[in-house]
Every structure is written in structure tokens, then in C-alpha cells.
Amino acid sequence: MSTRPALLVEAFTDEPLQGNGAAVVWLDQPATATWMQRLAGSFKQSETAFLHREATGGWQLRWFTPSCEVPLCGHATLAATLALAHWGCLQPGDTIPLASRSGALQVGLDGQRPGAAHLTLPSAGLEPLPVPQALETLLGQRIEHYWGSSLGYRVALLQPTAPLATLACPSAGLEGQDRMGLVLMQPLPNEGPALMGAPCDYQLRFFAPGLGIEEDSVTGSAHALVAPWWMEQLQRNQVRGWQPSERHGGMLCEAAGPGWVRLTGAAQLLWDGQINSSGAGCDPDDWQRAVRL
């Protein structure tokens, strides 16, 4: 029986059994998309990350939800970074690129905080759109601003007094593009949750039933998308974002050049082992199409 290393990391949290879980699998050759999709369905995490080392020494990365492949995933990239460290392939202070469908993502271990890592994600701009009345009715809350993005996510800003943390999950009633990713966000008061030595500035929740995710716990790609807007509002080059999901967590977001945001967060290793990789096959052509430098 052929086996490969695999582990499960709970990302963007410094507390056990919180944050967003992601499985990470180290492949010895480019597996077929069909096998990776079936394995992601078996893991039943919001995302499963697959790492493959090229002959040149570089790494390729792909992400699958239980129902489809996605072009970007922050928490599974953080999980993959800490998996590489756990497997002895990345040392504290090192920064390396991971080739992905969203380009070469720079990742590294935080030299000051054991168990923490950083990753740089692309941040597509927010495009103002008319507020959909049907969404306001579904949420039972007033939407102050509503945006689209080239990432495909829609973003809605709620009033500071809206009960975002306790709002009932709206996924069953979402329509159209909102089903492919809806960010609900609001500012936090100064006494909000603390993260890395300071209070968080905003909080959000993320729903994507069209991707097979009723609600995501702590969503790196969503924070990378909205953090530049919060930086502009607060006139700062870094902000702290919180996600008050049932499995809560957060991250430090910093400007990393035009169109890029650097996220720093902690993570917890839940389990470490081997999987049966029989049937994985080998499809280098598919990996070349899916992963671009």
C-alpha cells in the first residue's frame, strides 16, 4: 500500500480546537484532480491543501473544498506553511514562494512567535454595487455599503450595532453571486477581542454555500480582500481582523505593496499521520494548467 504524509492544522488561532481546520497532503507526484477532490470530500474540512515539490526544489500548491477546487485559500496556505515546517522543509525566518492558481504566494515562519507564520495574498479591489434589498430582508439588518470583487466574493458592511456574531447563518437563503462568497463585516469597538498585543479593528463572517461551505470559520482570503479598505478608513498600514464564528480566530493584516496583503497568524497541529494514496494517479499536465507561476 502506498502512503503519503498528511496532517490537519487549525489555522489562525492560538487556542486548541478553534480557528479554521485544513488538511495538508504532501504528494510525491502530481495527483489527478479527481482523486484530490474525492480525498477532500473524505476529509470534510472547508479546504484540503495539496503540496507537490518540483524537481527544481520549488513547491506547487492547490486547494480543494469538499465539492470543488478553489483559486485561493488563506487558512489552508497558512496550514501548508506550518506543515512544511513540521516536515523539516522550512526553517524559522525563511520565506519561500508557493506556486498556485493565484500566482506565487510568499510564505514564511514568524521568527518571533513560535507556531505562527505569514503569507502574502493578492487583494482584488472592492467594486461598489447597489445594495440588494433581498439581502437586507434576509439578514434583517441594514447594509451600509455593498461591493463586488474580481475574486468573486460579495462584501456587505453592516452597522456597528448589528448583532453580527449571533446572526443566524443566511446560507440557505443566499441567491446569485452571494452564494459563491459573502463577507459580512463591521467595525469593532476598542474593547474588542485582542490579537497579538492589540484589540482587533473589525470583524467579519464568511458564507459560501455555492462552494460547499455553509460558513467558513476564519477566512484568510476574505480578510486579504477587505483589509485594505479598513486600512484606508483607519489611516494605518496594518489592521487586526477577527472572525466571531463558532470556531473563532483572527489575523494581523499588513500592506505588502500594491494589490497584496500580508497575513500573520498562529495555528495548532491537531493530528499528524499517513494516508493511503493508492489511486492518486499522476497528471503533470493538469498541474501545469492549474498552477501558474
What does the pLDDT read at residue 183?
98
At which residue does the C-alpha cell 443566499 appear? 174
Q: Indicate whether 131 and 20 sit together in one domain.
A: no
Averaged over 114-122, what is the pLDDT? 92
Q: Indicate whether 164 and 222 sit together in one domain.
A: yes
Q: Indicate whether 130 and 251 sit together in one domain.
A: yes
What does the pLDDT read at residue 249?
97
Q: Indicate whether 170 and 284 sit together in one domain.
A: no
pLDDT per residue over 266-282, tens digit each? 999 999 999 999 999 99
Range of the structural domain that residue 139 is part of: 126-258
Which one of 10, 15, 47, 144 is the catalytic residue? 47
What does the pLDDT read at residue 292?
67
Averaged over 3-22, what is the pLDDT? 96
Q: Indicate whether 159 and 97 sit together in one domain.
A: no
pLDDT per residue over 155-168, tens digit each? 999 999 999 999 99
Give the percent of the chain with pLDDT over 70: 99
pLDDT at 251 over 90: yes
In a domain, 263, yes or no: no
pLDDT at 192 over 90: no
pLDDT per residue over 42-92, tens digit each? 999 999 999 999 989 999 999 999 999 999 999 999 999 999 999 999 999
- Other C-beta atoms lying within 10 Å of the C-beta of residue 240: 25
Q: Indicate whether 184 and 278 sit together in one domain.
A: no
Query: What is the model's pTM?
Result: 0.95
Q: What is the CATH number of the domain that holds 102?
A: 3.10.310.10
Is-catalytic flag, 214? no
- Map residue 135 onto helix, strand or coil: helix
